[in-house]
Structure 1
Amino acid sequence: MATAQLDSDSAQSPNDAITSESSTARPLATLSPERLGMPFDRRLLLATFTSFSCGSMLGYLNTSRLASLRFRAENAHRLPISQPGWYLYHKSKNYYKLKHGITAGLRSGVFLAAWTSIFFVVEESLDVFRGTWRAGRTIGEMEGVSELDIDKVNTGVEKSRDFLSSVVAGMVTGGLWSAWNKFPVLTAARTIRMGLFAGLGYGVAQDALTWARGKTGGVVNDAESWIYRGAKNRRQADDNSTELEQKEQEKQE
């Protein structure tokens, strides 16, 4: 009788195991969908690395080109007249380009990465601030975030992740850039307007991506995405099948 019960258990398909596991599992907590489908720390790291790479490459190419022209101008009065002399000339010029290009490239990469981080930090801060404001935080009461309902905060932050935060973040970044470089009023206004349009374009692109992912079912609304849940269920079903096979072999022995 025990063997028959074991055979009936082993005859259960992996899909049935996944269904039974899903029916008995505790529902996952709902979280607000992140921008670009990534949490803030991962999004900030990716943006910082990308901006650092682009800034370093552009800074190196521009500075190395200028360094090459400067080396040629400084040595125009003593150009080599033999083949070994030209070899040493170009070798020295390449060393000169690398020396100035790498230094300037690293400086440009760090500079661009810092300003990119400011934009993303301001954008995320505005999302959280607007979310807590939607959850009931007011100037009169000045409630702390810990005193608010976490479900209301998550819902508020979810509704606040739109292009408005990106627009304000672009304007704030443009204003800080103008203050850093001490631009006059007209130049600062033009820079802030450029930040507004850049933030608007980036925010609309993020909203379009979120809408598209929602249409295809790719929005992460749970603690784990459907991809990881499916892989986890498949692994657990395989483990259950392996365990049943081992028990059957032990019973036969």
Structure 2
Amino acid sequence: MIKSIRKSSSCKEPALRKEKVRKRNRITAIYSKAKVCRPNEPTKCLMYEPGIINLFAKSRNYSELLWAWKGWRDAIGPKVRTDWERIIEIENIGARENNYTDEGAAWRTNYQVSNLRGKVEKLWAQLRPFYLQLHSYVRYKLKQEYGDHVNLTGPIPAHLLGEIWAMSWLNIYNITKPYPNVNAFQVDEGMKDMNYTTHDMFVLADNFYQSMGLPAMPDNFWKYSMFTRPKNRSVVCYASAWNMGHDKQGNEDVRVKMCAVVNANYLYTVHHEMGHCQYYLAYNEAQP
């Protein structure tokens, strides 16, 4: 228990802590309201969820994807850069006040691993040969799709990987699958044929966890969670799970916040976030 508790890296000066909160709130507001509008159609705009996400999942138009990739970043980056740099300054001030070299050093203490950098570099050296093969294969497939836009000896353009972050490449599986003539089950089409709703995806995830002997999501989950983007206010759509403990009546209260639409990526995210909620329920039960 004692080993798991690390020193705080927060600033000792209250004014700096308040400044950091104000700047974070400003960044969050800018991020949540960001959108990209088509040059000749200023009323046709896309927000990140679900508009930009759907565009990257489905579009194979090189120019359109580049427009959205760059436009969304231009709508956020220049507006938040100064605030973000100041937040880093404040975090590093707090870290040094608490005897860390910087905030990164404070974060790394959470792992309780000596020579963390060296061990991560060793793991990367082991993984790198496989990653280079995977990268080359995907680049080759994208070259077949996009022609001269892809250089077989250079990096992959980030906006061609099916997601604005280029983290998950699932959405370009139809381009990269090794056996194009072999039909694989299409999750999106399957849910569409079954008239799935976003609520149905959460019910499916709940049934999945119950099938393993875990508890059903409590009533408060279904009552207070945000499953889709509200129409009457701006929100941060980044998917997250929340442990609210118990309500005044002693009922368990866990929730998710996301702007889901019916597709395979969100189906995975729904299961992922509900997994966090299962942990929260277990934590709450274990508390004295």
Structure with the largest fraction of helix: 1
Tell which has more relative contact order, 1 or 2 (C-alpha 8 A, sep 6+).
1
Q: TM-score, normalised by structure 1?
A: 0.24
- Larger Cα-atom Rg: 1
Report which of the two has the higher share of strand: 2
TM norm structure 2: 0.22
